[in-house]
């Protein structure tokens, strides 16, 4: 087991990887858990970034190539619509991970 060396008993920061606190002798055991909790898995992070990037590329390409063929209101509508689709995709990607996190 790998620990981060943080002692909950006396708040002493030990060397990484040690199993017992060098100040008070308390067993260090939850370093790995603390390290892993806040960050989603890397695949989820990559997908979440990819969706935002794809949306920015879509809006950029839309404004560049197609926007002149539509009215201002229609273009605003497409902007909102694509933004909503992006948010739904983010929800689908992040929800399974968020559901697994303790409250």
**Applying CB under 5 A, which residues contact Zn ion?**
7, 9-10, 12, 21, 23-24, 26
Beta carbon nearer to Zn ion, 33 or 63: 33
Nearest one of 52, 73, 75, 55 to 65, comparing CA atoms: 75
**Minimum Å distance from CB 17 to Zn ion?**
15
10 Å Cβ neighbour count for 22? Answer: 13
Query: To the nearest 10°, the Cα dihedral for 61, 63, 66, 72?
Result: 160
**Minimum Å distance from CB 14 to Zn ion?**
8
**Minimum Å distance from CB 37 to Zn ion?**
21
Beta carbon nearer to Zn ion, 21 or 93: 21
**Minimum Å distance from CB 15 to Zn ion?**
13
d(CA 52, CA 48): 7
d(CA 18, CA 5): 6
Beta carbon nearer to Zn ion, 13 or 39: 13
Beta carbon nearer to Zn ion, 16 or 23: 23
């Amino acid at each position: 087991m790998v620990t981060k060396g943080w002692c909950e008993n006396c708040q002493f920061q030990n060397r990484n990887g040690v199993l017992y606190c060098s100040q008070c002798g308390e067993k260090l055991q939850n370093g790995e858990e603390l390290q892993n909790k806040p960050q989603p898995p890397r695949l989820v992070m990559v997908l979440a970034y990819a969706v935002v990037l794809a949306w920015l590329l879509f809006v950029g390409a839309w404004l560049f190539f197609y926007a002149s063929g539509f009215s201002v209101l229609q273009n605003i509508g497409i902007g909102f619509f694509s933004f909503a689709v992006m948010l739904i995709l983010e929800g689908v990607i992040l929800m399974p991970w968020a559901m697994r996190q303790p409250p």
